[in-house]
Amino acid sequence: MTDAAPSSAQSWKVTLPCTRAEAEALDGDIAAFALMDKPPVLMTSEATPDDENAWQLDAYFEGEPSPAAIKLLRSLVPSANGIKPVVEQLPDEDWVTLSQQGLEPVTAGRFHIRNLASDPEQPGHVNFLIEASRAFGTGQHETTAGCLQMLDRMRRVGMRFGNVADIGTGTGLLAFAALHLWPNAYATASDIDPVAVDISAANAAANKIQAGKGQGQLALYVAAGVDHPAIATRAPYDLLIANILAGPLIELAPSLCALVEEGGTILLAGLLKEQADAVLSAYRAQGMRLAERMDNGDWPTLRLRKRPRIGWKRPTRLDKQARGEAPGYGSL
């Protein structure tokens, strides 16, 4: 989240802890600072991966912030009540460059992910530009990189898919990668967070991914889990990707599996090694089997295949009673 960048001279930063909910509430203009001649630029980030209560607010000021400005800032993050803010003067450098440190380009399989437009493209790779934002999925996290590597491997061994869904899409990156690998597929992507869907749409345009409902196009929806009529209507999918968290993956197992055709594939990520058995148990109960596992540090990526049923073919579309919601969970 940024406004116009302050000048490099005499830039100050104020840092406070916050929750993910507080961070998401800071999107757009902040009325508390509207009357300031030079309002601060607010940026939020995960302080601890996958902990919704461990986020961080960084406020960049042009000039030393006044006690009143710091008081206003504190009012935006009530969870930090009683915690002393970190106030520091930045070196005489461009604060944008400082804030983007650590976001180096990532190569995963055939894909090269740039987070800054100034980063050069990687020859011989599929290059995507996914600028840092509030939505998860810039390629930096092991879960996203693991999914990219698995998708690349699936294509290299000759797998073919014609109807793909990316549930909890974040920045849209995994849906973009799937469309590159299977350019004639129908593609659907959804997220519980409307901001993430807007970011995905902007990223699609920046990476020349065509929006729409036809072959080779990406249809985007705001949905809790798979709770959207269009997602059910476009089923059954032969490839479904869900890079979220272990809790919602388990909760969504029945509704996700109901959307996948017999013999179809589900790609799961966002879980830790110690959570893999519980997640696998939930999906095995829905007729899935583990086809392949790829560990990227502490973060496994699981490729599951839906077992064919014996006897007459049964409906594979979403049960009307299975809403596919995971309230309180956003995209990873």
Please say if the pLDDT value at position 240 is more than 90: yes
pLDDT of residue 35: 60
Indicate whether 153 and 56 sit together in one domain: no
Domain with 34, as residue range(s), is 11-99
- Residue 50: its pLDDT value, please? 73
CB within 8 Å of 31: residues ≥ 6 apart: none
Do 215 and 137 lie in a common domain? yes
Same domain, 145 and 238: yes
Q: pLDDT band for position 37 (50/70/90)?
A: low
CATH number at residue 28: 3.30.70
Please give the pLDDT value at position 2: 28
Mark whether 301 and 255 lie in a shared domain.
yes
Q: What is the average per-residue pLDDT within 8-36? A: 75
pLDDT given for residue 56 in this prediction: 92
Establish whether the linkage from the previous residue to 236 is cis, with ω within 30° of 0: yes
Task: Give pLDDT tens digits for 249-292.
Answer: 999 999 999 999 999 999 999 888 999 999 999 999 999 999 99
Mark whether 85 and 138 lie in a shared domain: no
Q: Please indicate if the annotation marks 191 as binding a ligand.
A: yes
Is 316 inside any structural domain? no
Within a domain: 246? yes
- Mean pLDDT of all residues in the chain? 83
Looking at the structure, tell me whether residues 192 and 302 fall in a common domain: yes
- Residue 19 assigned ligand-binding role: no
**Is 243 among the annotated ligand-binding positions?**
yes
Query: Radius of gyration (Cα) for the chain, nearest Å?
Result: 21
Domain identity same for 68 and 146: no
Q: In what order do the strands lie in the sheet with 86-89?
A: 41-46, 55-62, 11-18, 86-89
Query: How far apart (Å, rounded) are the C-alpha atoms in residues 252 and 260?
Result: 13
- Count structural domains, the chain: 2
Position 312 in a domain: no
- The answer as to whether 326 is a domain residue is no
Mean pLDDT is highest, among 23-32, 60-69, 181-190, for 181-190
Band (314; pLDDT cuts 50, 70, 90): very low
Report if residue 317 sits inside a domain: no
Of 239 and 44, which is predicted with more confidence?
239
Average of per-residue pLDDT across 237-253 = 94
Residue 34 has pLDDT above 90, yes or no: no
Looking at residue 27, its pLDDT comes to: 58
Do both 156 and 301 map to the same domain?
yes
Binding site annotation covers 166?
A: no
Cα 232 to Cα 223: distance, rounded to the nearest angstrom: 11
